[in-house]
Structure 1
Amino acid sequence: MSKPEFIARQGRKPTGWLGHIVARVMARETRPENERALHMLDLADGDSLIDIGCGHGETLFEAGAMVRLSDSAGVDFSEVMLKRARARNRDAVWDTRLTFHCADTAALPFPDNRFDKALSVHTIYFWPDPTEHLAEIFRVLKPGGSFVLCFRSTEDRRALETYPSTVYRFRSVSEIETTLAGVGFQTIETCSGRFGSRLVHWTCSGKP
């Protein structure tokens, strides 16, 4: 059964009182995907990390518990999510190890070659042209930097049946890998796993 469109739109950009509920649900439901993405990044003390579509901020909190991040950032365009993210990461924000930005991820507010590592989890469905967003991630990564993209694909029939195509667009793994290569990423590898009924993919790539 397909989700109502107004609920699906909250998944894209949580707003209002309903957005706060969606934020709590998303933090719980997507935790396994986020944890696996973090482990794939092989974080080290002193790394600068950017979370593209950081949402609730739980992933950056977990990253900060694993290592001592430096000069890191979360980007989202939902003020509801950013309010929650800042509160969850108040200590890292207070001592300036972490900042949060309300921005379009197709135009990131950072200079070239800024971050060591990047990740983005369950965001690509909402990008009309993924090339723009992936090119921005490539731009802000340092040479030798790593990027992990987590997503559900056209291989997941449950996703296609559940989420309205007016809000979510699912792509094939090969399409996403081709797009990453097209903006300059190399050493592109995808692994897959199931969490209940969800088929999830993690594509790792690097900036030469």
Structure 2
Amino acid sequence: MEEQVNPITLTFDEKIDVLPPKNTLIFKLLQDLPLKKEENILEIGPADTEHLSYLLQKAKNITYTGTYFSDAGIKNVFSAYKTDGNNVEFAKITDNELDLQDNSFDWCFTADTIYFWPDPLKYLSESYRVLKSGGKMNLAFVEKNFGAHLPWTQLDFTFYETDEVKSLFKQSGFVNIEVRKMTETITDQNRKEITRPFVIVSGQKK
């Protein structure tokens, strides 16, 4: 792993309104996280900030770390985000590795990202490494039998079945692996609302 990169801590004075959770994959994943005060939370590959105000109000004094691939990318995604005394940190992914200390986080989660991971086993193994003993990883995704046939997923997507993801969790060292099947409401390319099934696989570090 390359030299440790210190996360950037951002704090802001202006408070933003906390909107109620939406009926979407990322919000449903977060609704199920029983966060406690002063816990450290890691998200792999956040695409936007829509869910952060909801996440940060779930428990007091939690620290959120989001991973990124390039400085430009993270600045574009998070430049408009504001908190009120919460810690929001960023850490870089380099060669499929997280520039983060071992045993640092209470929770790790990721939503709709596994399709783009060049090495899913490596990503899950890295997640396991940075979790504390007893910490949990929660991964939400759309299964192959549904996602692979969508017109906008024909390029650059690799879909998986639930059993494949469970196997990756086991190979990474996770125990107490659980599977939850849920649905979300999304807007398709024709601006019509559709119900899409998805799966949350979770595992615990020994």
| TM-score in same-fold range (> 0.5) | yes
CA distance in 1, matches of 2:203, 2:52: 20
Structure 1 unaligned regions, length at least 5: 1-29
Q: Where in structure 2 are the equivalents of 1:1-208 lying within 5 Å?
A: 32-77=24-69, 79-80=72-73, 82-88=75-81, 90-91=82-83, 95=85, 97-104=87-94, 106-156=96-146, 159-195=148-184, 196-208=194-206
Decide whether aligned partners of structure 1 residues 71 and 87 sit closer, same or farther in structure 2, where only a CA change above 3 A counts. Answer: same
How far did residue 155 of structure 1 move?
2.5
Bigger mean CA offset, 124-133 vs 75-84 = 75-84
Distance in 1, matches of 2:41 and 2:75, equals 17
Using structure 2 for the length normalisation, give the TM-score. 0.76
SS at match of 1:200: strand
The structural deviation recorded for 1:72 is 2.6
Change (3 A) 1:69 1:169: farther
The offset of 1:39, in angstroms, is: 2.2
| Maintained 8 Å contact 1:55/1:76 | no
**For residues 177-207 of structure 1, what are the alpha-carbon distances to aligned partners after superposition, in whole Å with 9 as ceiling and x for unaligned?**
0010101011111111222342211111111
Distance 2:166 2:98 in 1: 22
Q: Deviations over 1:83-123 (max 9, x none)?
A: 332431x336xx56221234348211111000000100000
Letter in 2 for 1:85: F
Task: Identify the structure with the greater strand proportion.
Answer: 2
Q: Distance in 1 between matches of 2:95 and 2:107?
A: 16
Deviations 1:125-182 (A, max 9, x none): 00122001111111100000011100001121x5433244430000110000001010
Q: Normalising by the residue count of structure 1, what TM-score does the alignment of the two structures yield?
A: 0.75
Cα RMSD, aligned residues only: 2.2
Structure 2: 5+ residue stretches without partners: 1-21, 185-193
Matched position secondary structure for 1:67: coil
Residue identity (%):
25
Question: Which one-letter code corresponds to 1:77 in the other structure?
Answer: F
